[in-house]
Structure 1
Amino acid sequence: MKNILFTALFGICFSIVIAQDGTKVPYGYNESVGQYFEVATDTKLYYEIYGEGEPILMLHGGVYGYINEFEFFIDSLSKNYQVICLATRGHVKSDIGHEPFTYEQRARDAKKLMEHLKIEKAKVIGFSDGGFTAYRMAADYPESVERMVVIGAGDSPEGSGVNYGYSEEKLMKEAGGYFKKRLAAMPEPERWNESLQWLNALYENEVVSEKIFKKIECPVLLMAGDKDQYSNPETLLKAHGFIKESSLSIVPGCGHVVFYCNWNAVWAVVEPFFKKQ
C-alpha cells in the first residue's frame, strides 16, 4: 500500500523537556541514564533509554547531529514507549573505532545494541545519516524492524554522493561554541578530524538506492520538508517508489530538520503511524 501525505499543518512547538527536579533533561549527556556497550574489543558506543513499553530505536543525524536533536520525540514517545537513543560512532560520547564508516557497519552496530538489550524487534526512527542507517538495518535485518520512520533521507544512487569537506577547522569556524561542548565529552577528541574525514567519505561514496529499498519489507513512513537542502522531496519520492509498503509525508515550508521547523505537523503523522498494527 502506498500513500502520499502532503502535510499542511503549521505552527512550531518548542516545548522544553523538564525533569522532576525542575531542570531541563540533558539528552545525550544524561549521566543518570547513559550507558555503554561494546561493538568491538576496542570500540564502545553510548546510549540512553527513556520510558517503558514497546521499544523505539532512535538513530540521529551526522556531524551536527546527536541524541539531543530528538528532544521533542523523546519527550512525546517516552510517555508510551521505551525510547532507545544510540550515539553513532564518532559522535560525542561514542568511540570512533578503527574502521572507516559505512551504513552496513552502522546498521550492524544498531542490531548489536538490540541484542545487548535482548530486544528482538523494534520500531525505528532515523533522521538524515540515521535515516540511511535505518534503511540498511531494515534491509539487512528484516526480522528486527517492525516499522520505521525515515526523515530527510531519500534515494542516494551511485554518483549522487557529495563530499562536504568537513574538518575540525571548518566546523569550529562555523559553530565553535556548539562543538566545544561536544569535544569536551568525546573520548578521543584528538581524533575528531579523522572521524570527520571518514564521514566525508561516507557521504560521498555510500549508495543507498533501489537494491536496498527493494529488500525492505516493513511499513515505512518517509518524511521531508519541501525545502530540504540535503534530501529533497524528489529523492524521497524515488525511495517511495521502490519500497513496497511506504507512505510519504512532505511538510511545506521546512528544510532538513523538519521536526524543529514544524513539530506539530511531524507528530500528527508519526504518532498514528506507530499506533498502527
Structure 2
Amino acid sequence: MKVKSLRHKALFFLFILFSFSSFSQEASNLRYFMQGNAKASPVPYGNNAAAGAYVRSDDAKIYYEIYGKGSPIVVLHGGIVGSPLELGQLIDSLSQKHQVISIATRGHGKSEMGTKIPSYEQKAKDVNAVLAKVTKDKVTVLGFSDGAYTGYYFAKNYPDKIEKLVAIGAGEWKKGFREFNMDYKTLSAMDESYWKQQMGIRPEPKRIYEWFSSLSSYYSNVNIDETILGQIKCPVLVMAGEKDQNAPFDTVIAAYKMIPNAQLSIIPNAPHPAFLVNFDAVWTSMKPFIDQNNQFK
C-alpha cells in the first residue's frame, strides 16, 4: 500500500512539474504579430490564467486581465492582427504605479466574436461592461490603432467614465480612404507561429473567415471625423510615428485639430507600432501626460 501511495505521489508531482514546464515554455514562446527576433514581455499577456477573467457584454464574453495597483488604466491593443502582448512593455511599465486593465477586444485572443457588427461603438460598450465589473473610478485609456479608435468612441459615449486618453496611431478616418479586403490565408502566411498560437486560444477558431469578412465590411464603411472627435471632452494625447503607414501624418494632424483638448506627440522616423520600435521615446512622451493633473481642462 505504501509503495502504491508513493507511486501515486510521484506521478502527481511529475504531472505538476510537466504542467508548469509546459506553461513556462508556452509563456516564453508567446509572440505578437510579426515579432521577428525582438523580445516580448516574459508575462504572457492575453493568455495569463492567473490574471484573467471574463465579463459578458451583450452577445459576447470579453476577456480581460488585471495587473498592478493604483489609479486604473485601460489598455487596448491593435485590431485584426493585434493582441495584448504587443503592448507588453507598456503594461510592464504602467503596472508599477497603476492598476492596468488589459482587454482583448471582441474577436481577438480569448474574447468571443459575438454576432453584432464589430463596430467601435460596440467595442466601447464592451470596455464599459468590463469597467462596470472592475472599478467605479474614472479611468485613463491607452489605445493603439484599433484600440485608439475604440478609445475615441469610449471618450465620446462615456464622458463620465474617462479621465484622459492616449491614442497611438489613429487619425481622421475618411470612408473609402483604403480598401479593406483582408484575407486570413494571406495574413496567416505572414506569421504562421503567431496565428497558430492565436487559433489555439481563440474560443471560436472556426469562425475566423466570418470574422475577417465582418471586419472588412465594417472598416470599409466607417467614417471618423469631427462629428466623433469634436465631441471628446477629456484631455487626449494624440501620438503617432512620423512614418505611420496606417495612420498617415496628415490624418493624425487632422484628428489632433478636431479634438478640443488635445496634445500632440510625433515619434521621429517611427512606423505604425512606434512603441515597438522606439519604446523609450514613446514612454518619455506619454508618462508626463498620464501623471499630470488635469489642471488644463
Q: Which residue pairs with 1:130 in the alignment? A: 147
Matches within 5 A, 1:128-277: 128-163=145-180, 165-277=181-293
Instruction: Give 1:25's aligned residue.
Output: 43
Higher relative contact order (CA 8 A, sep 6+): 1
How many residues align? The count is 256
Q: Secondary structure at the match of 1:239?
A: helix
Partner of 2:61: 44
How high is the sequence identity, in percent, across the aligned residues?
40
Larger radius of gyration: 2
Q: Deviation per CA, 1:170-224: give whole Å up to 9, x if none.
A: 2222222210110011111000111111111222111111101111011100111
Distance in 2 between residues matched to 1:208 and 1:113, nearest whole Å: 24
Go from structure 1 to structure 2 and tell me whether the alpha carbon gap of 1:98 and 1:178 turns closer, same or farther (over 3 Å shift): same
Please report the TM-score for the alignment, with normalisation by the length of structure 2. 0.83
Q: What is the SS of the residue equivalent to 1:25? A: coil
Unaligned ranges ≥5, structure 2? 1-37
The structural deviation recorded for 1:161 is: 4.5
Runs of 4+ in structure 1 off by over 2 angstroms are: 14-17, 157-162
Tell me, in whole angstroms, the C-alpha distance in 2 between the residues paired with 1:162 and 1:112: 32
Say if 1:227 and 1:253, in contact at 8 Å, map to a contact too. yes
Kindly indicate which of the two structures has a greater share of residues assigned to helix.
Answer: 2
**What residue identity is the alignment partner of 1:39?**
S
Q: In 1, are the aligned partners of 2:175 and 2:220 still within 8 Å (CA)?
A: no
Which residue in 1 is equivalent to 2:16?
none
| 2:72–2:137 contact (8 Å) kept in structure 1 | no
Deviation at 1:232, TM superposition (A): 1.2
**1:61 aligns with one of 64, 78, 81:** 78
1:71 CA displacement: 0.5
For 1:84, the equivalent position in structure 2 comes to 101
* Contact 2:60–2:114 (8 Å) recurs in 1: yes
Please state how far the C-alpha of 1:15 moved relative to its aligned partner.
7.3
* Residue number in structure 1 paired with 2:130: 113
Query: Who is 2:12 aligned against?
Result: none
1:136 match: secondary structure: helix
Counterparts of 2:82 and 2:98 in 1: how far apart (Å)?
22
SS in 1 for 2:105: coil
Amino acid across the alignment from 2:86 = E
* In 2, Cα distance between equivalents of 1:15 and 1:119: 35
- Cα RMSD of the aligned pairs, angstroms, is 1.3
Identify the range of structure 1 (115-124 vs 217-226) with the bigger mean alpha-carbon deviation.
115-124
Partners of 2:268 and 2:71 lie apart in 1 by 31
